[in-house]
Structure 1
């Protein structure tokens, strides 16, 4: 008789020991914390979106080459690998300090962009801005995961991806409005995220430290005060299951966490690279399919964007009801099949092309929200933010490669070859998920993150 693998087998029928965090009802505290944590992705989508409105004016004033424009556009992604260091500091110093300090740093960097006098200054600031924005992901999501009830954990974390899209949409509205200020409008456009950042920094002040992190550092008295403040004077630390443990960076690359690190990096990169490529080049891709007229291309691009948003919303709504593996593997396979079909039938009618893109955009919603959920669930508190930041860095490297590869592939292999290659990348993520994805739905956070056999 074989022993079930605790990583991939579903939860047993035996109810885990209850505790005040995992089994708490969803309260106003959780909703407020979720809103404040969601501000980070909203700010990210906003700050990355407004550059599209500022860059043409900047290029005209500074006589920038196409290369310089491209570098400034992707500059925030270039700093993402440095986020690993911030994730490690978050595991060492705590969630609360970094939670406010990072948003304050984003605000100051946005203000500094207003005063730049040349492209080098702007490049440096946007790289630093990318580091600060990327750092908020592991900081805020780990804090949220460590307070979230297990029955609502996926929904609360999944909401973060929706807020990125909302921030990106808001950037289009604000950017278009600020362009009316004249030739120096680009300065106000780049400054505008600072308003959101300043407000968010103020709102985050007073957020309590994660009791799970406090316990992991041996500060149980402080942890008890936090849970009694949040959950009531009768709350205890019983059943939370955290243990005092040092934060060691190398633990992420040692058994049993090495396989989890490989899984997160692989599925995240393979799911996000095609998304970034399609977001960036939707008009060009649709034109390559010979859609008739610019109007048809624009409508198709808008529809694809709306379906991406709808996919993440639907996935978030069912995230706590479906098994994690179901939400990841089947949608991943459907999304990969849609991309491969676009390559195999590149001469299909316009309506078929748009439908296949829509199927892909809807299906990839499941893997997209799990990019945030899995790293927070399958790594223990002492390395949770570190592991998340590693997965994020690997994924953004994949996104950069995907974004730069699409125009090259279109030129060399045509639309058919491009979509087949992108589909194969997605399929690699689907297969790796089938082999390595754990099942964590309904499990207390400490149990989901526990090593095998623990």
Structure 2
């Protein structure tokens, strides 16, 4: 079975699909995983010094706890992305946050590294499911003309969660008890997201791909106000549903190049990002900056502003030029930090600040590109696979960076991360497709 799309009618052949309150609701509830992920990663990075003292953590345990949620994200994305293609998006979209809420709350009583590691693996597993299913579901509901900004805004909420955790941990005395309360506080947004997701319907694109066209039409009428097919839906097959897509089709001729590009592009971008911002305080102390708290605040503001302002070029520019351009800027920034590692902390802060601002905007594309690389029948599996493999890279970077900083110093550490970004630049120049106008509904023919 081929998973390639046929040509679609030009956009001018039908009026643009309007943005509805339901679109905004799905977008808002999909924010939950990104906010929770950013909050969880920011919190563990900030409380690790306090936990290291109270739990007597070795460097190995610090690396394991820092990367634990990322490891869980790998297994959740790989496993439940495939499940979502088999049984539908809605069930996974709802029940994964039950796990996240319960495991987050249980961190309050996890006073040893082993139990805390297991709980954070479970949190990551639930978040990984949402990284596979959330953008998939949203991309299948969103109007094509607004897909970039709606999907890109998910990463902005990751930044909001990360910055909020940093602000809280910067101005609270981090005793062992306070550290556990902060970790457990992640259950509150998770519970809110769980309640708001009740009633979100199944993806009509997935239903149509399963031959359940009548159910898909009812959802479109009720939730999207569509009383007649859009230009994309008019090309949808009406015959019996095709056989279920096999996982191996991610690597079949015609799809393999997009899968390969997605893995390398996503991994090269997030490896230095997650590593740097998990161990931000250690990096700032290495830079010999007197007022590290103030600089941390400035960097967090750069993260927020870069993420918000980065939504515009994601929407207006093509995916390919945006990806290549931001990779090139990020590579130069970390290369400058490596070359100038012997300079004053303030001199190093300039490329670090530019890196932070640009990376926040560039990371928006990680929620936009993956759903556009795969057809409906493979989208959950494909998005899950890219998220999972990228989190392996993130976990490796998060585990290696503290060791690298202590043994090699900030210069060499920034140097090898610049090489990772250079790889992303080269691969994007060679393989990045342009998917801004790619269909993500059931105008994919089998």
Take 1:111 and 1:304, find their aligned partners in 2: how far apart are those partners? 29
The 3-state SS of whatever aligns with 1:92 is helix
Given the alignment of the two structures, is residue 155 of structure 1 paired with residue 153 of structure 2, yes or no? no
> What's the CA shift for 1:150?
1.2
Match of 1:3 in 2: none
8 Å Cα contact 2:97-2:193 kept in structure 1: yes
Given the alignment of the two structures, is residue 429 of structure 1 paired with residue 424 of structure 2, yes or no? yes
8 Å Cα contact 1:227-1:236 kept in structure 2: no
The 3-state SS of whatever aligns with 1:364 is helix
8 Å Cα contact 1:179-1:185 kept in structure 2: yes
With 69-78 and 130-139 compared, the bigger mean Cα shift is at 69-78
Q: How does 1:130-141 map to 2 (within 5 A)?
A: 130-141=124-135
The 3-state SS of whatever aligns with 2:315 is coil
Match of 1:360 in 2: 355
2:332 counterpart (337, 362, 371): 337
Given the alignment of the two structures, is residue 254 of structure 1 paired with residue 252 of structure 2, yes or no? yes
Match of 1:311 in 2: 306
Aligned length: 436
RMSD: 3.0
Take 1:421 and 1:42, find their aligned partners in 2: how far apart are those partners? 29
With 163-172 and 31-40 compared, the bigger mean Cα shift is at 163-172
With 436-445 and 375-384 compared, the bigger mean Cα shift is at 436-445
Deviations 1:341-394 (A, max 9, x none): 222333445554222222222333453111111110110111112111111122
> What's the CA shift for 1:65?
4.2
With 269-278 and 197-206 compared, the bigger mean Cα shift is at 269-278
> What's the CA shift for 1:284?
4.2
Take 1:445 and 1:46, find their aligned partners in 2: how far apart are those partners? 30
> What's the CA shift for 1:147?
0.8
2:398 counterpart (399, 403, 408): 403
The 3-state SS of whatever aligns with 2:365 is helix
Unaligned segments of structure 1, at least 5 residues:
1-5
With 364-373 and 98-107 compared, the bigger mean Cα shift is at 364-373
The 3-state SS of whatever aligns with 2:341 is coil
1:94–1:337 distance in 2 versus 1, CA, 3 Å: same
Take 1:52 and 1:411, find their aligned partners in 2: how far apart are those partners? 16
What TM-score results when the alignment is normalised by the length of structure 2?
0.87
Larger RCO: Structure 1 or Structure 2 (Cα < 8 Å, ≥ 6 residues apart)?
2
8 Å Cα contact 1:228-1:236 kept in structure 2: no
Q: How does 1:234-313 map to 2 (within 5 A)?
A: 234-236=227-229, 239-240=232-233, 241-243=235-237, 244-245=241-242, 246-289=244-287, 291=288, 293-295=289-291, 297-313=292-308
What TM-score results when the alignment is normalised by the length of structure 1?
0.86
> What's the CA shift for 1:132?
0.7
8 Å Cα contact 1:18-1:239 kept in structure 2: no
